Structures are given as C-alpha cells and as structure tokens.
Structure 1
Amino acid sequence: MYAIIDLETTGGQPTQDRITELAIFIHDGDKVVDHYETLVNPGRAIPFFITQLTGINDDMVRDAPRFHEVARKVVEMTEGCVFVAHNVRFDYSFLKKEFADLGYNYSRKTLCTVRLSRSLIPGQPSYSLGKLCQNIGIPLEGRHRAAGDAAATAILFDRLLKISQQDEALANPDLSPADTLATVDALAPSGRTPATKKPSARRVTAVQEAIKTALLPPNITPEKVAALPQEAGVYYFHNEQGEVIYVGKSINIYKRIQQHFAVDYKSRKSLEFKNSISDITWELTGSELVALLYESAEIKRMKPFYNRAQRRSVFPAGIYLRQDEQGYKHLYYGRADADNPATPLIALANQFKAKGFLYHKVSKYNLCQKLCDLYKTQGSCFDYQVHRCKGACVGLEPAAEYNLRVDEAIESFTFEHGSFVVIGQGRREDEKSIVVVENGRYLGFGYVDGEFSARRLADFREVITAYGDNKDVQQIIRQYLRTKHKDKVKVFK
C-alpha cells in the first residue's frame, strides 16, 4: 500500500512554518482506493506571497482543524504504507516536525516520484510536477493545492507502475498474461507478496529501488555512492552542467556523504541543493590535516554557491586589538565577518569560544578585564579590587608596562614553534604527507615516499605545493595540533 501525500504550508522551513492543507491518496498497487483532504489552521498568519501561490488565505483556514485534530487520521491512513510524494523529503520533513511537536515519532518508508520518474521516464526536460505532468499528458487541476497536486502525483505514480510492468513484459516475452498484469504488493505491510499474486521482477525492483534510494539526490545512483572511498579527502558536488556547487572534507568520504543524504531537509533551499547534485568527485588526501587545508583552499578558489551560502566565514569570531587615547592596548573579542572591517589577531569558531579564550589570556598574562571588554564599569575592574590587576583600568599602571604584557599575550596566539613540519599519513601505505610552516607562516603541503628523510627545512619546502597563508589555515593548523593526532611534528630552530 502507498500513501500519496501533498502538503501546502506557510513557507519553506519545517522548523518554523506550518501546514495549511494536506491531501492523502491511498493506492493499493492497482488503483486509488481511498483519499482524504483538509485545510489545516496553522495557528499563524499566512504570508501574502503564499496566498498568491496557493490561493489559501487566513479566512479559509480560520475554522479549519488544527493539526493535532487531524493527526490521528493521518497516522491511521498511512499506517503500513509507503509515504510517496514528489520531492518526498520536503513533505515528509514537514509531517515529521508536526508530529514531533506533539511528542510522536512519525516514521514511514519513503518513495520519491521524482527519482522514480527519472529512472522510468528518462530524458524529460524537467521533472518538476507541473512540467512533467504537462509533458506526459497528466491532467493537473488545482496546481499548488494539496488535493490537485496529490491527485496528479497519484496518476503519475500509477503510470510509473504500469511503465515498469510493460518494460518487464517486453524484456520477458515468456511471462504469462497473469504475471504481466500482476500488481505490486511486495511492499505490503506484511513485507510479503500474497500467494495469489506474482509481481514482475522489474516492477518490484523499480519500486524497491526507489524506496531504498529515496534519501539520495534524484541524479545520484546507489552505485555512485557505493563507489565512494572510505578514506580521508576532499569531495565535490557537481550540478548537471558539471559545475562544482559544494566542497566538503572528511576522514571518511563515504560516511560523510551518506550523512549528507540521510538528513531531513529543513527548507526548500536545502532541498533544491540536494536535488541539484548530479555528480560526486573526490581527491584523497590521506591526512586529515591536509583535507582540512585543501578544503579551505578549494572553497576560496572555486567559491562554490552552496559553500558561500552556508559558510561565509569558516571562523566567524576573533580576538582584536585597539589602542585608546591614553596609549593602552585593548584586546577584545567580536564577530569576524564582512560587517567587521578589522582583521582579527586570531580567528575562532564562535564568540563563546573567543570570550573563553580571552579570559584565559587575561588570567595568564595578568591583563585588565576592563581593558579587555570583559568587565563593564566606569571605575576599576573587579580584579583591581582583589589586587589581581595592577591598575591599568584607572591609569595607575603606566601604559608602556601594561602593553608589554599585552604583546606577550599576542605572541602566544601564534604557533608554539615558529618553523615546523607536520608529517602525517599519505594517500598510500608507502607515502607520507608534509605540511610546512616557516616563521609562523603556512607555506603549503605535499607528499613524499615513505623512505624520504630530510634534515633541513629547505628540503621539505622543495616537495610541497605552495598555498596561501590566511587566518583560516592558521586556525586550522592550530586547532589540529591541539587534538590527539598521530602525526609527527618536526621543529626547526
């Protein structure tokens, strides 16, 4: 049994928007046997642009049931059914969120008619519901209304089942008419095919495959995912034109990409991102540190659309320096983004970590809390009152003396050693990765065979590919060296 579902909502974000209309068509593998539709009161105003799109306004839903009033009906109708929708992750995510708000874990197998259509009706110029129905002659009345879209999806689904049946009949001319006309009940709630019916292998396979791969982008095959390496490296998502739209990294590319595809997408934009992925390529790095550094370099070089949208700054907070009219140097934390023109002395993952980092430096180098913007007061800071501050906050400690300790703190922001090489795992067993930092500046990375040995920093410089130094790579190396890594760090004086 299949529950073909379509929803209309107040917007594209399941985390904050609500359902305004739902329709369910139950298909038994042969035909539609039941249906249900209702407006839903979302408990909030419907945006004007949504009303323009769907025709559903506040007056129409004012006396409609709230979702909790129809939730039982939805559960009962879809019990034991495969959840079918066009771009199924969107509708499924909305229903899961509505049920989660009621304290109920709604879980169903899912099937996406976009993916099934791409498999059984290849070569269409578009697989959006409206254009696909127009191109293959399916009537679509009431576009952007739940009942209209769900009814069209039900016809599409029925046609897809028949196409797979016909394909099997052509591929297997010895099948009897009874076999050829058999309906697909292999996915019934019992999980078994009734003994009185014998579904064709192709038909069952096409539907089972669609269910199994419902989490994948429509253009990505299971074979493509199965071929992904379970090793460290950088991976690229490409659109249909071959353009790189996202760059990522992982110590296990296969597992990371599986995680990408397994999540419930929370917005139309994230769903568009998933649906636009048409190919995956990768480059192995062997080393986790090299993967981090190479990803950062590739994002800056390629500026992929979805990296820019999601990660405008790898490290959106930082520690900054200013000097007041009396000559005192002030360390302070703040955002590190386009709205802040200052360059941070060190970039950090978020403002909470930046504040904690600054507190640590204030304690270690006996700095003034007030001059580090950690204690808001018109008078002296708290540390001065308990004799831990030497009085810079009230002008008692000379600026020159105080600034010496500020400079010491700033020096501690850099690497523990000025020049060093990180020697890690290569892409093969007989290979090593090399990351070079000279005088506090990142030079790049490269690979050498396992027998390579060098005594001078210059020897390592000769085997690397040069990459630019910036605040992001500085922070990547700093944070990596603080982890329990297994790489060898060779220090040069």
Structure 2
Amino acid sequence: MYAIVDIETTGGHASANGITEIAIYVYDGRELVQHYETLVNPGIPIPYYITTLTGISNEMVAEAPPFSAVAPMIFSLLKDNIFVAHNVNFDYSFVKYHLLEAGFDLQSKKLCTVRLGRKIFPGLPSYSLGNICRHFQIPINGRHRASGDAEATMKLFGLLLQHDTANAIAAVLKGGSKEQFLPPNLPPEQVKALPSDPGVYYFHDQKGKVVYVGKARDLKKRVNSHFTGNNPGRQRQNFLRTIHSITFQPTATELMACILESVEIKRLWPPFNTSQKHIEFRYGFYLFEDQSGYLRLAIEKRRKHSHPVHSFNLLVDGHRMLRTLIREFELCPKLCFMQKDEGTCAGITAQTCHGACRREEEPVVYNARVMAAINYLQQQQPSVTIIDKGLQPGEKSCILMEKGKFYGMGYFPEHLVADQLAIREYLTPYPENETIIGLLRPYATGISGDL
C-alpha cells in the first residue's frame, strides 16, 4: 500500500517551522482506500507570503488541532505503507520530525514522484507538480493546498505505475537502494558513475553554477554520504533542493584532492561551503626602495594581489622576526620602521646600524645586507617535493613547495623521476593559501615519496 502525502508548512525546514495542513491518500495502486486531511495549528505565526501562496491564514488554523493531537492518526496511516510525495524528502523530513516530537518514530520506505517522473517519462520540459500534471491533463483541485496536491500526486503516481515497464519503482524500493535518498533533481546515473578513487567533486545548481566543492578519498562513498539521513535543518534542505548535477576531477592521492579542494573553494567561493572562507595571512614583510635609494622592509597588512616577501598572521610574530633580522644583519631600525621617533637611532646606539638613516652608509652597501636578510628568511622556509603514484600507468604525481611557497602539482612520465628540473615543467602552478601550506609543512624538508 502507498500513502500519498502532501503538506503545507510555515517555511522551508522542519526544525524551525510547523505544518499547517496535511493530506494522506492511502492508495493500493488501483484505487483510493482511505483519505485523511486536516488543517493543523503550527503553534507559530504563518508568514504573509505563505498565506498568499496557500490561502491558509492564521485565522483558519486558530481552532485547528496541534500536530501532537493528530500525530497518532497520521502515524497509523503511514507506518505500514510506502511514503509517496512529490519531492518526497521535503515532506518526509517534516512529517518524521514532527512525529518524533510527538513521540512517534516513522521509518518508512519512500518514493519520489519527481525522481520517478524523470525515469519513467524522460525528456519532459519540467517535473514540477503543476507542469507535469498539466502535461498529462491531471486536474489539481486546489493548487498549493494539501488535499488538492495530494490527490493530483496520487493520479500521477497511478500513471507512473502503469508505465513503469522497466520496473524503476521496484528498483528504488529494493533493499539497499540509495536512490530514494538522492536530491529530487539529481540524475542517479551521475552518482553511479562516480569512481571509488580520490578526487574533488562539484555540486551544481540548475544553471550549472558550482554551489559546493568537496574532496574525497573515495568519491562515490563521500558523495553518497551527503544524502543519507533526514536532517530537517534549513541549510541541508536548501542544499539538497539546489543540487541538479555533479562533476568531479580525479586525483592520484588524497593529499592532492585536499590541495585542489582548497584551491577551488578560493577560486569559486561556493555558497554552501563554510570552511576555508576566512582571512588568510593577515600581515607581510614588504620591500620597497625609498627616494634616496635605500631598500626598506615594512610590516603591513596584506592587500589583495600584493606580493610580500614573507607572510604571517600575528603582528607580534612579525615584530619578533624583524627585530631578529635587524640584529643579525645589522639593519637600521628606522629604515625598517621599527623606530619612528626623531631621536637617535637605537641601532647606532647598539652599534648595529652603520648610519644608513643619516645617509652615512652607501645605499649599495646597506641594500646588500637587506637582500641577505631576505634570502636568509626565505631559506628558512621549508621546501617539499612529494612524489607518489600517478593517475595512469607509467606516470607519477608530484606536489612541489619551494622555500615556503606552494608552486603547484601535476603528473609526469615516471622515467623522469630523477630529473627535478624536467619534472617541474609538467606541473600546473596553483595559487597558494594558508590551508595548503599547513597541509605541506609536515612533509618538509626535502623529497618524499616512493623514489
């Protein structure tokens, strides 16, 4: 038996919204067996735009029963039947959540008439309830009301049963089938085509825009994990409704997937990614030449598209490093902006400044020490070359970080494994970020992999 369900609600996610109306049509595949419908007092105000859409107002539900009062009846109609709805995960998440709040744990198999419509009647211009019913000339007696939409869904489901020559419904209901958990607009063949290999996957919306980027050790397993369970939260429900397609990019190793994910999040800034959207290195050492020809090191906040000679997060760290460079390379604290008053240079007092601030030392001599300090600073940064398996036979993968800066990664013919200069030509440069540097620092210094 099938329980065809439609609900009207105060909003788009169950955990913060209530049900205002529910209709259940118990159907045996040929005829209606039982029909139940009721308005429900959601316990919270109905937004004006919802009233405009459904016609259900606060006055209409004022005397209606709360969901807890009708929960026993609803549970009795659903518990032994297959839960069917148009975009079933929305209705099911609401009903399951509010039944659980009332003390009933619903564990039903589900069928989605959106997804089944795509399988059994492929190629239609739209699978929204209004459009697909219009296509098949199924009348809807009360659009956006629970009873009218549920009755139309029942008639649509009857057509699906009649034309299911490939047994699509039985395949979805088969034990272990994950298809019933998939978002309604996502073609299941795209999920089935995913390899069980490392890589990066992209969820796209209806217009093809990337809305989420993720990395995986096993692409198939990780993507499927997004769709298990019935989390009623707003963000998850919006996320599932938005997904229309999946693409992916395989990588040879999980580390390469982690790096590529970070690059892509920064490049695409997908709306449903929350991690790695933070301020990166906040400060840097900047080098410039003043009007007198002296090279000057300054600590400044990082600017977009700027190129500091070294980056760091905490101002106190930058001051500590710069003081060390001033002391070890006999730089002028005034020319490094560490002393800003008009008094005697503290470096002259300490005998580490040779008078560059008074123009008593030639710029070429002073600048040589500044460049030596920068070179020293950069030499202290780790270099990493990680060589591992490739995507194809006869090739290797390589990840390269030079002197603390991420260069890039890629694949090269394995006969070049001893020629690092040749390998470099095969690598794709990528912009670095703090996440990538953090991933690679544990591998410093030198060459790692299965050389």
Do the two structures share a fold, i.e. TM-score over 0.5?
Answer: yes
For residue 475 of structure 1, what is the aligned residue in structure 2?
Answer: 435
For residue 289 of structure 1, what is the aligned residue in structure 2?
Answer: 255
Asked if the contact 1:112/1:210 (under 8 Å) is kept, the reply is no
Distance 1:133 1:296, change over 3 A: same
In the TM superposition, 1:11-410 aligns within 5 A as 11-164=11-164, 168=165, 202=166, 205-211=167-173, 212=177, 213-218=179-184, 220-238=186-204, 244-264=210-230, 266=232, 274=240, 277-301=243-267, 303=268, 308-311=270-273, 314-316=276-278, 320=282
Partner SS, residue 290 of structure 1 = helix
Distance 1:269 1:321, change over 3 A: closer
| CA distance in 2: counterparts of 1:153 and 1:29, whole angstroms | 12
For residue 353 of structure 1, what is the aligned residue in structure 2?
Answer: none
Gapped regions of structure 1 (runs ≥ 5):
169-201, 323-329, 331-335, 339-343, 348-357, 366-398, 401-413
Distance 1:124 1:309, change over 3 A: same
Distance 1:315 1:63, change over 3 A: same
Asked if the contact 1:90/1:268 (under 8 Å) is kept, the reply is no
| CA distance in 1: counterparts of 2:239 and 2:134, whole angstroms | 24
Partner SS, residue 476 of structure 1 = helix
Look up the equivalent residue of 2:255 and give its one-letter code: L
Look up the equivalent residue of 1:468 and give its one-letter code: P
Look up the equivalent residue of 2:402 and give its one-letter code: E
What's the RMSD between the two structures over aligned residues? 3.9
For residue 427 of structure 2, what is the aligned residue in structure 1?
Answer: 464
Distance 1:142 1:109, change over 3 A: same
Asked if the contact 2:213/2:270 (under 8 Å) is kept, the reply is no
- 1:102 is displaced (CA, Å) by 3.7
Is residue 435 of structure 1 aligned with residue 392 of structure 2? no
- 1:47 is displaced (CA, Å) by 1.1
- 1:159 is displaced (CA, Å) by 2.0
Asked if the contact 2:7/2:21 (under 8 Å) is kept, the reply is yes
For residue 326 of structure 2, what is the aligned residue in structure 1?
Answer: none
Partner SS, residue 150 of structure 1 = helix
Asked if the contact 1:90/1:265 (under 8 Å) is kept, the reply is no
Look up the equivalent residue of 2:65 and give its one-letter code: P
Q: Deviations over 1:313-372 (max 9, x none)?
A: 6143667569xxxxxxx9xxxxx9x9xxxxx9668xxxxxxxxxx9xx99xx9xxxxxxx
Distance 1:13 1:272, change over 3 A: closer
Look up the equivalent residue of 1:490 and give its one-letter code: I
- 1:290 is displaced (CA, Å) by 1.3
Asked if the contact 1:90/1:267 (under 8 Å) is kept, the reply is no
Q: Deviations over 1:215-264 (max 9, x none)?
A: 23445554443332101012234556666554332111000111123243
Distance 1:63 1:239, change over 3 A: closer
Distance 1:272 1:113, change over 3 A: farther
| CA distance in 2: counterparts of 1:415 and 1:262, whole angstroms | 48
- 1:104 is displaced (CA, Å) by 4.0
- 1:312 is displaced (CA, Å) by 6.0
Asked if the contact 1:233/1:285 (under 8 Å) is kept, the reply is yes
Distance 1:71 1:437, change over 3 A: same
| CA distance in 2: counterparts of 1:132 and 1:224, whole angstroms | 23
For residue 352 of structure 1, what is the aligned residue in structure 2?
Answer: none
| 253-262 or 238-247, larger mean C-alpha shift | 238-247
| CA distance in 1: counterparts of 2:282 and 2:103, whole angstroms | 45
- 1:206 is displaced (CA, Å) by 2.6
| CA distance in 2: counterparts of 1:460 and 1:415, whole angstroms | 22
Is residue 444 of structure 1 aligned with residue 408 of structure 2? yes
Distance 1:418 1:455, change over 3 A: farther
Distance 1:144 1:415, change over 3 A: farther
Normalising by structure 2, report the TM-score: 0.71
- 1:417 is displaced (CA, Å) by 4.1
Asked if the contact 1:5/1:83 (under 8 Å) is kept, the reply is yes
Normalising by structure 1, report the TM-score: 0.65
Q: Percent identity?
A: 41
For residue 426 of structure 1, what is the aligned residue in structure 2?
Answer: 390
| CA distance in 2: counterparts of 1:130 and 1:221, whole angstroms | 21
Partner SS, residue 214 of structure 1 = helix
The number of equivalent residue pairs is 373
Asked if the contact 2:7/2:19 (under 8 Å) is kept, the reply is yes
- 1:114 is displaced (CA, Å) by 0.7
